[in-house]
Amino acid sequence: MPHDHHDHLSPSGHPYRQDNDGALTYWQTMEIAIRELMIEKGELTPAQIQEQIDAMDARSPANGAAVVARAWTDPDFKKRLLENGSDAAREMGFDIGPMHLVAVENTSDTHNLIVCTLCSCYPRNLLGLPPDWYKTREYRSRAVREPRAVLREFGVELPESTTLRVHDSTADMRYIVLPARPVGTENLNAEDLAKLVTRDSMIGTGLPKAP
């Protein structure tokens, strides 16, 4: 019983989270030293650094959802997205930097799942920061070893007749799943469709919401 360990619980019954007030590591010290030097030498301003942090924090799965909704409503765009994901994302105004994007399409008989077994490669420009579970050893190993069992734990039961394609992002590509458009959405526009596109549906561990 977790509640038996009173030493580790706050009065409200929640576990204490260890604070990070230990000594700085070598690399933390290095980062602070370089940052301060660059500011002192006029290479960067504190405002520019804050701007970059804000830009990174502003990226969210809404970016990816907009790309998916556009692909659902614009067949020519969908074709371009599947042919060259990087160019299609740029075309929608998403600065994807040096990243190479591959979009993989779920259909009536194919489901795609993304993992990075080596580290935590993730299309951050379109989906924001990866969820903590995406970076765990458990997800990274089990997604390639027993992907259907992992999907069941996420609530996705694939029929036997569906082919599951797992994509291990081992090098320079980043992947986004283009989920299948939910039935009963024929009358929705791209803006409303985007609201049905969840983060997990673009990783492949989930499906879009029903209208």
Return the number of the residue (39 or 166) whose C-beta is nearest another protein. Answer: 166
Whole-number minimum distance, CB 27 to another protein, in Å? 16
Residue that is written with structure tokens 């569906």 in the block: 162
Whole-number minimum distance, CB 114 to another protein, in Å? 10
Q: Which residues contact 142 (CB under 8 A, 6 or more apart)?
A: 149, 150
Q: Which residues contact 71 (CB under 8 A, 6 or more apart)?
A: 77, 78, 81, 103, 178
SS3 of 5, please? Answer: coil
- What Å distances lie between residue 185 and 66, 69, 109, 163, 177, CA to CA? 16, 11, 20, 25, 19
Return the number of the residue (107 or 163) whose C-beta is nearest another protein. Answer: 163
Sites of contact with another protein (CB under 8 A): 100, 102, 117-118, 144-149, 160, 163-173
Whole-number minimum distance, CB 84 to another protein, in Å? 11
What DSSP character marks residue 19?
P
Whole-number minimum distance, CB 164 to another protein, in Å? 4
Return the number of the residue (9 or 102) whose C-beta is nearest another protein. Answer: 102
Return the number of the residue (135 or 165) whose C-beta is nearest another protein. Answer: 165
Q: Are strands 110-115 and 163-168 parallel, antiparallel or unpaired?
A: parallel
Whole-number minimum distance, CB 161 to another protein, in Å? 10
Are 209 and 182 a contacting pair, CB within 8 Å?
yes
Q: Which residues are catalytic?
A: 116, 119-121
H/E stretch holding 178 = strand 173-178
Return the number of the residue (38 or 173) whose C-beta is nearest another protein. Answer: 173
Alpha-carbon dihedral sign for residues 140, 144, 150, 151:
positive
